[in-house]
Chains A and B, each alone.
Chain A
């Protein structure tokens, strides 16, 4: 199960001591069911605000966020989230960490079913044999893998990734990109990925939305027409290079720099 996400004319401002700080300005995006949308844009342009709106952790000042046609009014159990900080609970084993969302939402599942589900996912991301380790015994990349498993263990319809690969070294990051493709083949969800890495957006997404500087609008939507079977080598194929160049130009425009 996955649900389409749509934002319709969403405008939002934070109230600060020095007056309102507009972050989103009349933002409209459609993300079809099962699609993978990357959002890139200048620092501090309101990308994370978008994730909190979609997750129902915040309400927009104006406009509507819809999941499957229904307006989002608050948090819902069919959403999964992963952040740059893997936020694993140090006192739990990896398996217990992955099972955490099931303790909240899947009361119908037996303990054994929950464990099996978590174990299956850990196997997909290559963490077989690490189920009983504590997070402190794992490397940064492995912790992030566990965090990804936790974000989808309850079979969410919508997966929100807020720069989950941002703090990893380049090689580990590329490994996790592959893992993300593996997970997408196994599971069904509509995914929003916030990222600063243009190669990441080209490698993972079906379409990449470029945000303008704050207050953010959808400045450009770039369809990433590279097919479903992507390898890292494909990032160096002519079409991918073209897409990267286009995204880079858009980011420069968003940053307000002159483009020759």
Chain B
């Protein structure tokens, strides 16, 4: 019963959404060059399936590499800010300002900086857009650790490294995964931003762009659906990892 509900309810919602979309296009009598309807999508997928596969793979791996960089850098930065008040006070305004800059404006800057290095540019974009939540969550997790947690080990003469591995890091994991859920989506957006905006891009973003230049609206919408599916898959990978590593933080319902 439970699993039926877990699968059935979201599935029903998705079907309802697709039906409403189809109905909207049909009721308004919109032609394909105004808005594609769900029934236009399977032919588009069938026609370009090879491009979808290679594009998805390119988008996926660059997102993952960018995210991995963001995780490493975000954790390091978060540790520095979490343990040192001075570093926190110094870096916070800088970080907030950096995060506030609309990332679409950064695309041409990076593209000019590393002309032609499309993979590098895309990875860099995914990284830059996604490390902020991770750094903030780690630093907050570490700086709000109750002193008693530290004292139970410190009073035994444990080193700061031991305290970090045994207490601070595991205690911060729930916040970290909360941030990772935001970051994985952000990294994905960063990848696509670069793929769409920069010339001669690759990946699903470039496929979307070619749909736009050729006025192939079903292709554009098919790319959107593919992006959504990829985004959902990435998100649930994080949820899965969270269950494994920070499942203890989840309260049983009721």
| Given known contacts A55-B151, A81-B151, A104-B162, A89 and B156 CB-to-CB distance under 8 angstroms | no
Q: Which residue of A lies closest to B250 (CB)?
A: A136
State whether the Cβ of A79 lies closer than 8 Å to any Cβ in chain B.
yes
| Cβ contact within 8 Å between B167 and A89 | yes
Report Cα–Cα, A100/B246, bound state, in Å: 19
Interface residues on A, range: 20 to 34
Interface stretch, picked from A11-19, A70-78, A165-173, is A70-78
Q: Is the interface of B mostly helix, strand, loop or mixed?
A: helix
Greatest chain B CB density within 10 A among A91, A101, A160 is at A91
Give every chain A residue within 8 A of B158 (Cβ-Cβ): 104
Report Cα–Cα, A80/B151, bound state, in Å: 10
State whether the Cβ of B50 lies closer than 8 Å to any Cβ in chain A.
no
State whether the Cβ of A83 lies closer than 8 Å to any Cβ in chain B.
yes
Interface residues on B, range: 20 to 34
| Cβ contact within 8 Å between B157 and A75 | yes
| Cβ contact within 8 Å between A83 and B148 | yes
State whether the Cβ of A30 lies closer than 8 Å to any Cβ in chain B.
no
| Cβ contact within 8 Å between A154 and B156 | yes
Point out residues on B near A: beta carbons under 8 Å. 146, 148-149, 151-158, 162, 166-167, 170-171, 173, 246, 248-249, 251
Give every chain A residue within 8 A of B148 (Cβ-Cβ): 83, 85, 87
Point out residues on A near B: beta carbons under 8 Å. 52, 55-57, 74-77, 79-81, 83, 85, 87, 89-91, 100-101, 103-105, 134, 136, 150, 154, 160
How far apart are B238's CB and chain A's nearest CB, in angstroms? 18
Report Cα–Cα, A105/B173, bound state, in Å: 26
| Cβ contact within 8 Å between A104 and B156 | yes
| Given known contacts A75-B156, A77-B156, A154-B156, A89 and B171 CB-to-CB distance under 8 angstroms | yes
Give every chain A residue within 8 A of B251 (Cβ-Cβ): 136
Report Cα–Cα, A80/B156, bound state, in Å: 8
Give every chain B residue within 8 A of A87 (Cβ-Cβ): 146, 148-149, 152
How far apart are A10's CB and chain B's nearest CB, in angstroms? 18
| Cβ contact within 8 Å between A91 and B156 | no
How far apart are B247's CB and chain A's nearest CB, in angstroms? 9
| Cβ contact within 8 Å between B146 and A85 | yes
| Given known contacts A104-B162, A136-B251, A89 and B157 CB-to-CB distance under 8 angstroms | no
Report Cα–Cα, A136/B250, bound state, in Å: 10
How far apart are A62's CB and chain B's nearest CB, in angstroms? 22
| Given known contacts A55-B151, A85-B148, A87-B146, A105 and B156 CB-to-CB distance under 8 angstroms | yes
| Given known contacts A83-B148, A104-B162, A136-B251, A89 and B154 CB-to-CB distance under 8 angstroms | no
How far apart are A213's CB and chain B's nearest CB, in angstroms? 24
| Cβ contact within 8 Å between B151 and A100 | no
Q: Which residue of B lies closest to A105 (CB)?
A: B156
Give every chain B residue within 8 A of A150 (Cβ-Cβ): 152
| Cβ contact within 8 Å between A100 and B152 | yes
**Additional 9 contacts, C-beta under 8 A, given A90-B249, A104-B157:** A55-B155, A57-B155, A74-B157, A75-B157, A76-B157, A85-B148, A104-B156, A105-B157, A160-B155
- Partner of B248 from the list A52, A91, A101 (CB cut-off 8 Å) is A91
Give every chain B residue within 8 A of A56 (Cβ-Cβ): 155
| Cβ contact within 8 Å between A57 and B151 | yes
Report Cα–Cα, A91/B151, bound state, in Å: 18
Report Cα–Cα, A229/B205, bound state, in Å: 79
